[in-house]
Amino acid sequence: MPIQDIPKNILTDKLFISYTYYKEGLVDGDNFMVEARVRNSKEDHGIPCYDVFSSDTGLHGFSINQNCYSYIKFISEEKIITGDKYDFRKYNFDTSDWHIMRIQVVDRETTFYFDDEPILNTVYENSLGRANEITLRFKGCGAVDYVKLYDSKNQLIYENNFEKNLNKK
């Protein structure tokens, strides 16, 4: 969302912008992969020290934050891993740059990727069943280049390429 589209009486440090795709029974929540290329730069009036990306198909998701490690969070059903309990300082979570965020779930084992590098792996107990939505959430104004969702057979079942869509107008 461009800054000029935000109502003047809203403070951007209190504003969350989300893109959500919803479809009933979209994918098996225990076997899928979702990927998006995102950034949250100050140039776009984003606030890089808060939630940057949350891909939510049931209860899988993660947030990254540069220099705010207590806000880093990885969620896979009942498993929640936060940056205040684990040391993620080796990763460059500079949200002003474009990054590819990916969550891959295979038989209740979740791997979180950051720029094609696996950064965390966890196993959860409770099945999610059929997942219904993908949500990309930013504090302030974020940017999304693309989002893709694959099923357990690595078949592309949803894609939105925002750059190509903008160039068509």
pLDDT tens by residue, 89-138: 777 777 888 889 999 999 999 999 989 999 889 999 988 888 888 888 87
- Model confidence at 45, pLDDT cuts 50, 70, 90, reads low
Domain of 108, CATH number, reads 2.60.120.200
User: Would residue 27 count as lying in a domain?
Assistant: yes
The pLDDT value recorded for residue 117 is: 92
User: Would residue 58 count as lying in a domain?
Assistant: yes
How many structural domains does the chain have? Answer: 1
The pLDDT value recorded for residue 72 is: 73
Structure tokens at 57: 């198909």
User: Would residue 10 count as lying in a domain?
Assistant: no
User: Would residue 124 count as lying in a domain?
Assistant: yes
Provide the total of helices (H) and of strands (E) in the chain, helices listed first.
1, 11
pTM: 0.81
The pLDDT value recorded for residue 16 is: 72
Q: Which amino acid is at 56?
A: D
Closest Cα partner for 79 from 62, 64, 101, 66? 62
User: Would residue 116 count as lying in a domain?
Assistant: yes
Q: What domain range includes position 43?
A: 16-167
The mean-pLDDT minimum among 6-15, 21-30, 35-44, 76-85 falls in: 6-15
